Amino acid sequence: MNQRTLGDLRVSEVGVGCNNFGSRLDQDATTSVVLAALDEGVNFFDTADIYGDLRSETQLGVALGSRRDEAIIATKFGMLHDKSGVCATPEYVRQCCEESLRRLGTDVIDLFQLHFPDDATPFAETIGAMQELIAQGKVREIGCSNLTAAQLREATVAAGSGPRFVSVQSQFSLLDRSPEIDGVLAACAELGMGFLPFYPLANGLLTGKVRRGEPIPEGTRLSLMPDDRKAHWLGERLRSRVDALTDYAEDQDVSMLTFAFSWLLSHPAVSSVIAGASNAGQVHANAHAPVELSPAQLRRLDELTSGD
């Protein structure tokens, strides 16, 4: 597994999104996914305090066990645990760090990330508290998620001469190219930040399992979605693009999975592609998906997925 730089960290090009841990996956299933990932050379695990109703971090920590040193753990804070809003005050930053350390069963968090911006708390206060955690040896690097390009620049200024955000997470895939449009990718290049795309497989539409004229496979993320969200992902615009991508993948004798991961990794700012997995087989498929696409293939993928 190739690795890329994220601040002072070295992360695998494919990471594991841990949103399923503690919800769809129990401890045994989580452990199977985590150990399979480590065996494949995948070292980047992205979780959050609220995932799995506060169980994801705990299950990840247990699963890593004696292999903790092989992993780069990224976790997020900021969403209140009762899901009533966002908080990033210095006091809450410190509280969340201590609780995440305890749940993860570790003495340091490799990448500590602000989950959502808190409009009521200045970036300088939030980042100041995160910088203190680095100075105390409790956190190695800091990052963020769901910030706009303007907010990334504001946060960089707010960090002053101290440690600053080394990464940002946003939704990015062949079916959602908004980071290219809204300037977040350009801001990453400008500020020297790593980009971490989530939903790289567009909630399963880019796995190759969603086929024209066939029902959505049972048990998949798409099949379990509420009807209002399902309507977006299964709307005519996205389904027609999936059909076009499927036809092109078959023409090129390349899997949809390979196109999805490899296209993302063709962007220099991307440090690791965060993908969920429910079993060891999916981990293996994700880990072996990336290849170097030809310029012609990249151009055609752009043509098939650009525009409104």
Residues labelled catalytic? 51
Q: Give exposure, 7-22, as e/b (b: 16+ Cβ within 10 Å).
A: bebebbbbbbbbbbbb
> What is the enclosing helix (H) or strand (E) of 112?
strand 109-114
Contact 141, 11 (CB under 8 A): no
Q: What is the SS3 assignment for 24-77? A: CECHHHHHHHHHHHHHCCCCEEECCCCHHHHCHHHHHHHHHHHHHHHCEEEEEE
Phi and psi at 259, nearest 5°, equal -60, -45
Name residue 276's beta-bridge partners.
Answer: 17
Phi and psi at 104, nearest 5°, equal -75, -15
Structural Rg of the chain based on CA atoms: 19
Strands 14-17 and 9-12: unpaired
Spatial distance between the Cα atoms of 98 and 82, rounded to a whole number of angstroms: 18
> What is the enclosing helix (H) or strand (E) of 197?
strand 194-198
| Torsion sign (Cα): 131, 191, 6, 284 | positive
| Torsion sign (Cα): 278, 83, 271, 267 | positive
